[in-house]
Chains A and B, each alone.
Chain A
Amino acid sequence: MLIDFILLFLFAGVPYYLVFENIPVMRKDKIFPLAALLVIAGMFISYQFPQETSMPFVMVAFFASLFSLHKANQTNNLCKLTYYILFFNAPLLIMFKTKESILYGVSLIVALMGVYLMGKYYARSYGSPNYQSVSGITLVTPYAGLILTVYFTALALYPPFPNALLFLNGILKSEISILWYLIVIVIFFGNFLIAVRVMAKTVFGKPNDNVHYIDISPTERVVHLLIIAVLLLLSVIGLQEVLS
């Protein structure tokens, strides 16, 4: 019971919604690292104290997740989006068995880390992580376009990226119930809709004549290449897991 409560607290963004959203304790762009740390802490706790999660907690996480979906749909800020997506996936992290939950959580955090760094790049190049008017980057900043496409394809739960494979692995190895169907359907479509919405406004669209586009630097490319390499490594693990 206590473990369930702690996991809910750490995975579903309770500290954020209770404290950080309304009180300016820290800058919004610092919240994702903190949220990711809390989720990692949650994964560590669930690894140390493996147990069956009770359904009421999964349900509460699901309602919190719906709220995060709404928030993710409202924002045009890449940095904010990262932690909303993380909180949105909380029911899966709670519902999956320990190993599957950890693997899915890690792949999610890695992909979101990439998006977060892209948010930082936006802030540096265009003054803010807001992507609203920086459209059509595929044509004008092809590297940034390619990298963002990879991250959002992964987040939209498409293979060959690990999120899709580990999502499949997780749902395959969990018990089927009405709540299972509900959560699987909502999270499967929710991730997709968020990702496609962002892609339509960033990767696609007409380049804005009023914006001076700057592609990512060679150093940043190396960092993103490493993140993509980690994602592909996780894909191999995911494939092994789901086929085992």
Chain B
Amino acid sequence: MEKLVLLIPFLPIVIATMIGFLNKKEHMPKVAIFFSSMVALLALYGTYYVMSTDQDIDGFGGYLIYNELSAILVPYVAILGLVIRKYSTKYMWDEPGYKRFFVLLNFIFSAIYLLVMSNNLIILTIAWQLMSISLYLLISFNVESKSAIKNGGWTMLVHKLADLFFIIAVILTYKTFGSFELSELSQKWLTLFQSGPVDDAMIYLIGFLFLFAAMMKSAIMPFHLWLPYTSEAPTPVSALMHAGVVNVGGILLNKMAFLLLLTPAVLNVAFVMGLITAVFASILMLAVSDIKRSLGYSTVGQMGYMIMEVGLGAFSLAIYHLMVHGIFKASLFLESGSLINQARKEPNVPRRLSHEIFWEEKPQYNSINMFRMIAFFAVFPVIVFTGVKFLLGEDLFHFNAATLIIAFAWLTGTQLFLSFFEVSKANSPKVILALISSFILVLFTYEFVGLALEHFLYGENGALFYEVATLHVSGTMTILMLIAIMLVGWYFTYRQHFVGVPLGEHKPNKSKWRIYKMLAKEGYISDWYVKYFKIF
């Protein structure tokens, strides 16, 4: 009975074939939604089986496996897929190519399921490339749009490069370790790690190839441009891209986690690249004037953060992060339609639930007090949190997980701060309370859900990753550095927004203007691409 779960990757192809034979437009989403619900139920059953029996489900000659990672990700993808299909039913109704859209959507879901459930590098390679081509056809869905096709071409070029890196890595893995089977390879890598330090350049090369392949598909800088520039795709595709497709880098690195145990340098590079991406993309997100591109950069920043987590050995946290971010970003995209609809009816700001709760017109700013309260209450939970952990005597500070948590606190805190600045007129205890609650919730769930996931995914081996991923910087030192960065960041934010803002005409000085121009032009990277790579 449980073996039925292994049919999940093939069911979307069956659905696509059925849709291909349907003539009535209204039947297409019904078929897609009904059978996708079956897929979601099957995935939930598989998860229940894995959790209750503590056993993996494998089959098709060991090529597919429903293990702990699949048990978390497959239901997530299935439910996300169900929501996207339901949303697309009406959203895509008037678009030419309704049938084509549902067929392609099912193909890409098939590729994602196959990628998550594969236990063989060849199957993984096939799924990895299938996802690229399905994505290309979906991004270019609006076939009449010149820019959509051009940006689709750029996306494909980056993905093709990722495919090449991946294929070469797979071939070198086979030549070095003599197997394609992932569970066997993971066991080999773990044994090799336990037998002492490894100093084989080939293993490092394989590690780097997998890392770069993952970085390209997860839009990590400097391979990020494809993501912010493909917002012209239909909204359900954008939701899928930001919540599902872009996560495959993190999924791949989790599948290769035991290989990366042998290559600390690869993890360190992942950390640095992730950090640069997280910071740079977050700044660009604030600077670009196009709202969709801004959302794209937000995702790039989050992906940077996810890769950074992998670089610190927090593989399971990366999975948690990508899921939470995926749900958040998908809801943002899918909500956009109803917001536009509301905006058409209402001349002012559309009154969403959050707006109804928090907005209060005040005649005057009283932001300094609010800032103090936010600063106090945002720093306070961090201190309490680290204090509790320290007193409990856990090994938090032995690992760089501390860096991770504090960095996340800083990033989230700053972003929350900037978001709520928009409603700074609503200087009420409700806003402060919401800010503090969300901050504490993020911090604590991140730590505790992350830990729970780690035990589920990697068991006792989870701690090994932190040991390997060490950057040889003491925990206290990193915490002090990050707190300093956090405070400096907040000081500048405070100065920028609340101190000495002239009421009249204000001209920024030249250097500031240049920096702003550089950021607003996205570091000139897109211009550079267009100028020197005239391929499409």
Contacts and interface: CB of A to CB of B under 8 A. Distances in A.
Interface of A: 136, 138-139, 142, 149, 153, 156, 158-160, 164-165, 168, 171-172, 176, 181, 184-185, 188-189, 192-193, 196-197, 200, 203-207, 239, 242-243
Contact of A242 (B96, B122, B149, B160): B122
Given A139-B143, A205-B144, 9 more contacts: A164-B129, A168-B122, A181-B168, A188-B160, A188-B164, A196-B536, A206-B144, A206-B146, A243-B120
Contacts of B160: 188-189, 192
A171 B100 CA distance: 34
A197 B536 contact: yes
A158 B144 contact: no
B235 interface: no
Given A164-B129, A171-B171, A200-B536, A139 B144 contact: yes
B503 interface: no
Given A176-B175, A185-B164, A204 B126 contact: no
B130 A204 contact: no
A164 B171 CA distance: 14
24 contacts: A138-B143, A142-B100, A149-B137, A158-B129, A159-B126, A164-B126, A168-B125, A172-B174, A181-B168, A185-B164, A188-B160, A189-B164, A192-B160, A196-B153, A197-B535, A197-B536, A200-B150, A200-B536, A203-B143, A205-B146, A243-B63, A243-B120, A243-B122, A243-B180
Interface string B398-440: 0000000000000000000000000000000000000000000
A156 B174 CA distance: 24
A79 B205 CA distance: 42
A168 B144 contact: no
A164 B153 CA distance: 19
Interface residues of B, number: 32
A168 B96 CA distance: 36
B269 interface: no
A238 B445 CA distance: 47
Interface in B51-105: 63, 96-97, 100
Contacts of A176: 171, 175
Contacts of B137: 149
Nearest to A137: B143
A217 B235 CA distance: 35
Interface of B: 63, 96-97, 100, 120, 122, 125-126, 129-130, 132-133, 137, 140, 143-144, 146, 149-150, 152-153, 156, 160, 164, 167-168, 171, 174-175, 180, 535-536
A168 B171 CA distance: 9
Nearest to B140: A204
A17 B292 CA distance: 50
A141 B454 CA distance: 52
